[in-house]
Amino acid sequence: MREIKNTKIIAVDHGYGNIKTANTVTPTGITAYKKEPIFTWNTLEYNGIYYRIGEGHKEFISDKTMDEDYYLLTLMAVARELNVFSIQKADVHLAAGLPLTWIRNQREEFRSYLLQNPEVSYRFNNKDYHIRFVGCSLYPQGYPAIVNLLSALKGTNLLADIGNGTMNILYINNKKAQESRCWTEKFGVNQCMIAAKNAILDRFGVKIEESTVEQVLRFKAADTSTPYLDCITAVARQYVADIFATLRKYEYNPDLMRLYVVGGGGCLIRNFGTYDESRVTILDDICATAKGYEYLALMSLKRRE
C-alpha cells in the first residue's frame, strides 16, 4: 500500500486463481451464505449476506463485470491490505488491471464496476471497514510486474504473464512496450489443472482433488502414490511444452531475445520445463503485478499535482 495526501493507493490484481494485493494473496473462490457460516475464517459480511472467500472455484469469465463476485473480492482484498497496517477506515484509490488486449474495450466498464459505490461499509473477519473510493487507475496485466526492470531491458525482450485463466504476451524493445505486438491467449494454468484431472480420471477411473494436483504443480510432489504423481507430471510437462509452442507462434526465438515470465505459470516452467536459464527470467513474486500497479498509480497521481 502507498499513500498520497491521506489517500491510500491499494492495488488489486484480480486473478482467476488468486486475488493479490501488494502484501496479500487469497484464493479467488467465493461462496454465499444467508446465515453466518460454521467456519468463519475469510468471511465477508456485505448487505446482509455472508461470503466465504477462498471456498469453491471461480470459473473463468472473459468479462469480470458479469456478476458481483469480483466486486466482493475487491472489498475483501482492500480489507486484507488495510488490515496489514491496522487500518479500518480510509479514502482509497484503487489500482488494478485487465488482460493486455482486452483493456482497450473493457477499461471504462471495469472502472465503473469497481467504483459502483463511492462509499461502502462492510465487515471482514469480524472487523468493520468503512471505505470511500476516490478513484481507480487501470493498467495492462503483466507489464507492471517488470516496470522496475525496464532500464535493463535492452534489445528484444518477450514478456509472458501466465495466470490461472490467460496468458498475456508482450514484446518490449529497448525498454519500450510494443502495443502493436501484444496478445492474450486463454491458456492459463487452469488449463493444465483440467488436463491433469481428466488424465487421472481417464487412466485410473477416479476423481482427484484440485489441491492434490496443485501440490504437484507447485512442488513436484504430493502425498499420493507414484503412478498418480507420474501421470500429473507428464501432463505438466506437456503443458509447459505447449506454452513454448504458443510463444513460438508469436515468433519467440530464445537465441534472439530474452524471455521474462510472471504469474503462476512461471512455477510450472521452472519445475517441468526445459530452457536456457541464462536467457529466461522467472519472477517468483506472485504479488509483483500488484506492486507494479501501485507504483504506476502513485507516479500518475503525483504528475497530476
Half-sphere exposure (Cβ direction) of 242: Cα atoms closer than 13 Å: 17
Cα 146–chain centre separation: 14
| Structural domains of the chain ordered from first start | 2-140+289-304 (3.30.420.40), 151-189+223-274 (3.30.420.40)
Question: What pLDDT was estimated at residue 156?
Answer: 97
Q: How far apart are CA 185 and CA 178, in angstroms?
A: 17
Do 195 and 170 contact (CB within 8 A), yes or no? no
Question: What pLDDT was estimated at residue 163?
Answer: 93
Question: What pLDDT was estimated at residue 166?
Answer: 92
Question: What pLDDT was estimated at residue 132?
Answer: 98
User: The whole model's pTM is what?
Assistant: 0.93
Question: What pLDDT was estimated at residue 55?
Answer: 79
Report which of 188, 246, 245, 244 is spatially closest to residue 217, judged by C-alpha positions.
Answer: 188
Q: In what order do the strands lie in the sheet with 43-46?
A: 2-4, 7-11, 89-98, 127-140, 119-124, 43-46, 49-53, 30-33
Question: What pLDDT was estimated at residue 60?
Answer: 77
Per-residue pLDDT tens, the chain, 305 aa: give them: 999 999 999 999 999 889 999 999 999 999 999 998 888 789 999 999 999 998 777 777 878 999 999 999 999 999 999 999 999 999 999 999 998 888 889 999 999 999 999 999 999 999 999 999 999 999 999 899 999 899 889 999 999 999 999 999 999 999 999 999 999 999 999 999 999 999 999 999 999 999 999 999 999 999 999 999 999 999 999 999 999 999 999 999 999 999 999 999 999 999 999 999 999 999 999 999 999 999 999 999 999 87
Cα end-to-end distance, the chain, whole Å: 20
Q: How far apart are CA 118 and CA 156, in angstroms?
A: 43
